[in-house]
Amino acid sequence: MPKDGKPIRTVRPYNDRLFIDLIRTAGQMSKAELTRASGLSAQSATVIVNRLVEDGLLKAGDAIKGKVGQPSTPYSLNPDGAISIGVKVGRRSLEVATMSLDYSILRRLVLSYDFPKLTNIRQDILDSIETLISEMTPLQSERIAGVGIALPDELSAWEQAIGAPVGAMADWINANLEADIASKFDLPVETLNDASAACLAEIAVGNSNGYECFAYFYVGTFIGGGIAIGGQLFQGHQNLAGAIASLPTGISTTSKAAQLLEGASLHYLEETARSKALSLDTFYSNAALEPAAQAIFADWLKVAAPRIAFSAVSAQSFLDPEAIIIDSSLAPEFTAQIIKAVSTAIEINYDKRGLANINLIPGENGISARAIGSGIAPLLSEFGLETN
């Protein structure tokens, strides 16, 4: 370990990462296909593929016989070639999962709580990681690339909104879960905003249309967002790009304008449901809502949709994206209702002259997006084309 006490992260040579990226996108490729796609010589491509196979990162498939020449052997990612651990710290739940090199979730542990108390969260994370590592095969445990943490920004500032006792979350101000995990497990650890993690998941294992540039809105307990540019997560100078929760939703000359998170976040929906003694689970399952719950959701949507619409028009004007992707921790049918209401609000309330068509589409990962993104981050750091 270096002097600062942080584990050293290894990064594969660029051409190794290029081949892994090409194969990840295509599913499988032969040496000849990799030669053409990379622009390298056939000899160089053969050396790289053989090295990746020897290192356990690629595996050879059955040879395919063609009409001319030698049979062609396709190569694909070896799922056990590398393992990552993703940690999602939410306002209501903790999720810790292991992920394979092909971005498949291997094992997931979920714990719920009333609010995120740091001492409990820290211990639960360490215990969960220890449990997941103990369940790995010896080969998997040797191939852990690192740990990713998806964490909301400034948790200590949201005591009242979350319903935590006064002062109960103050210790988050100086919290350093990254150092705690690195110290215990001697693994590289990186932290990113939870909405950015959800955006990363959309880039990597969603986005079926293959958009290179999109704005991403995630409607969770607090709304958040991210930005994809050139097929990569863009985080900005202070890692705050896409911080749509802080967007003002109007103009005020007498007081501070309200931010998007006020009204467009799900904790308002949850608070109303609790006051009516309704189970929150109904909003996060695929079951049809009873009339009382549907009425609460409709009332929340009347407030949230115009605010999200304002932010969507703003994102379109500043970024000119191919799409604005909206996802949420709610069941998919409720995400679809959000998108429909936002689209209607845009059409009714905004003059779109000078803007391209605002293409609103649903995200593809839902409630698991933040955990998936946290698991992808360590793999990208070692094997992705864009490395930190």
Residue 131 confidence (pLDDT) above 90: yes
Residue 285 confidence (pLDDT) above 60: yes
- pLDDT value at position 224? 95
- pLDDT value at position 219? 97
> What are the tens digits of pLDDT across the range 329-362?
999 999 999 999 999 999 999 999 999 999 999 9
Tokens of 100: 């394979």
Amino acid at 3: K
Please tell me the least confidently modeled range out of 42-51, 106-115, 269-278.
269-278
Average pLDDT, the chain: 91
Residue 97 confidence (pLDDT) above 90: yes
In three-state secondary structure terms, 228 is: strand
Tokens of 103: 């971005």
Residue 288 confidence (pLDDT) above 80: no
With 0-12 / 13-18 / 19 or more C-beta atoms within 10 angstroms meaning exposed / middle / buried, residue 108 is middle
Is residue 186 a contact partner of residue 8, using CB atoms and an 8 Å limit? no
- pLDDT value at position 155? 84
Evaluate whether 14-77 and 207-364 have a shared fold: no
Please give the residue that has the higher pLDDT: either 162 or 79: 79
Q: Any idea which architecture 82-197+371-383 has in CATH? A: 2-Layer Sandwich (3.30)
Please give the residue that has the higher pLDDT: either 98 or 293: 98
Packed helices 14-26 and 369-383: angle between N→C axes, nearest 10 degrees: 140
Pairing of strands 360-362, 323-328: parallel
Strand partners, 151: 193
How large is the greatest C-alpha to C-alpha distance in the chain, in angstroms?
A: 78
Distance CA 17, CA 20 (A): 5
Q: Residues for the chain: how many in total?
A: 388
Residue 255 confidence (pLDDT) above 90: no
Instruction: Identify the residue whose tokens are 């191919």.
Output: 322
> What are the tens digits of pLDDT across the range 178-194?
999 999 999 999 999 99
For the chain, which residues make up each domain, given as ranges?
A: 14-77, 82-197+371-383, 207-364
CATH among 1.10.10.10, 1.10.600.10, 1.10.357.10, 1.20.1050.10 for 14-77: 1.10.10.10
- pLDDT value at position 66? 66
Neighbours of 251 (CB within 10 A): 6
Strand order across the beta sheet in which 83-89 lies: 105-112, 93-100, 83-89, 144-151, 189-193
Residue 250 confidence (pLDDT) above 80: no
Pairing of strands 189-193, 144-151: parallel
Confidence of residue 5 (pLDDT cuts 50, 70, 90): low
DSSP state at residue 24? H
In three-state secondary structure terms, 166 is: coil
> What are the tens digits of pLDDT across the range 42-96?
999 999 999 999 999 999 998 887 656 667 899 999 999 999 999 999 888 999 9
Distance CA 276, CA 274 (A): 5
Q: Could you give the residue ranges of the DSSP H alpha helices within the chain?
A: 14-26, 31-38, 42-54, 118-134, 138-142, 159-162, 177-185, 194-205, 261-264, 266-275, 281-284, 291-319, 332-349, 369-383
Neighbours of 325 (CB within 10 A): 29
Residue 166 confidence (pLDDT) above 50: yes
CATH among 3.30.450.20, 2.40.50.140, 3.40.50.1980, 3.30.420.40 for 207-364: 3.30.420.40
Confidence of residue 388 (pLDDT cuts 50, 70, 90): very low
Please give the residue that has the higher pLDDT: either 146 or 64: 146
Confidence of residue 6 (pLDDT cuts 50, 70, 90): low
Percentage of the chain modeled with pLDDT above 90: 73
The pTM of this model reads 0.91
